[in-house]
Structure 1
């Protein structure tokens, strides 16, 4: 935007200099000079209005980005990971506010054929609430293992959990592992 502003300013100043030099060379009368003065004043007003609108748009854009950054502060401190050694899904709330309605929506990154289970008779139902509330600065461990086929269970080291949750202000977020959280709306939420 600044380059555009500099270019317009240089063009206007160059145009004024050309008109003044031409007017002096042609020995123009006072009424001619006053008419050009009015045109230059009108053009200057239009340029000033355009610059003001540009500055306002840039300010609104920055304020919106800052608002989004502030909204995601808590969400960046909430994540899920799969602990291969203990075979637990660990959901961490490192923020200063409670999170609620935590759902496990997906486990990605594995190529094995099988299913995720909490116990022999309790398969994981993706999209269901797994934790109602996680208080500030706490984590929840949920037993979870991978059944490759009947009789063989184990950990799946390539698994990355995807969770959705509500922050303390009621905003819905989706987070894949430790990737940046994504704000969900009625149009983007599939859970």
Structure 2
């Protein structure tokens, strides 16, 4: 929680406890104060003043209950928001450790290059689709290819990608001299969060996994990851 939020919550609690204190004083000392007022001002019907003291005490009780309920509801909402924020932060920390990039192949290699995917988490990710991508210029602003329900020749589909570094060969015919190669990576983390990492490295949360989102039909060519 930020410092401003802490200070705001502190002020709210101070006001709330102040109201509780005033209500408690009225509840405990209302009848006594009413009788003291009778003695100081002028004679009144004691029954009337006693009833007024009871009314004041009743109002104080109601105020105390209302404030206590309000504090409980407010604190519950703040705690729930904190839990959601913490869960999102943990998910983002896990997803941030799944990265991808292009590496050139060594001279004489069968491949023109490699797409490299690194999963630096202790847990595997699943529903993984690694796509070779081409962008017109730098900085990379996202995919120039529209992907459909079929796994294309320049894509790799993995049911599970364990922790470690993995590479996928790039064919010569996939490349174009006027465009920059990149990698687009879709995956689901171990907390069932769905993510898309674009060629410029941006990490975008998704509501569905890539299989559901793209309506990928099976059977499909499922690749076996090559350790790197």
Same-fold call, TM > 0.5?
Answer: yes
Could you give the per-residue CA deviations for residues 37-73 of structure 1, whole angstroms, max 9, x where no partner exists? 1110111100000101111111112222223333444
For the structure 1 residues 98 and 41, does the alpha-carbon distance in structure 2 shift closer, same or farther, using more than 3 Å as the test?
same
Q: If each structure's strand is expressed as a fraction of its own residues, which one has the higher value?
A: 1
RMSD: 3.9
Q: Provide TM-score, normalisation by structure 2.
A: 0.56
RCO higher in structure (CA 8 A, sep ≥6)? 1
Query: Partner of 1:92: helix, strand, or coil?
Result: strand
Between structures 1 and 2, the one with greater helix share = 2
Task: Note the 1:106-121 alignment, pairs <5 A.
Answer: 107=133, 110-111=136-137
Q: CA–CA distance in 2 between the matches of 1:27 and 1:108?
A: 90
The one of 14, 19, 27 equivalent to 1:6 is: 14
Query: Hey, what does 1:161 align to over in structure 2?
Result: 183
Q: TM-score when scaled to structure 1?
A: 0.65
- Unpaired runs of at least 5, structure 1: 113-123, 150-154
What do the CA deviations read for 1:95-129 (whole angstroms, capped 9, x no partner)?
222223322468476439xxxxxxxxxxx874635
**Higher CA-based Rg:** 2
Deviates more, 1:52-61 or 1:69-78: 69-78
Would the aligned equivalents of 1:103 and 1:163 in 2 still touch at CA under 8 Å?
A: yes
Structure 2 stretches of 5 or more lacking a match? 1-8, 40-48, 106-112, 139-144, 215-228
Aligned residue pairs total: 170
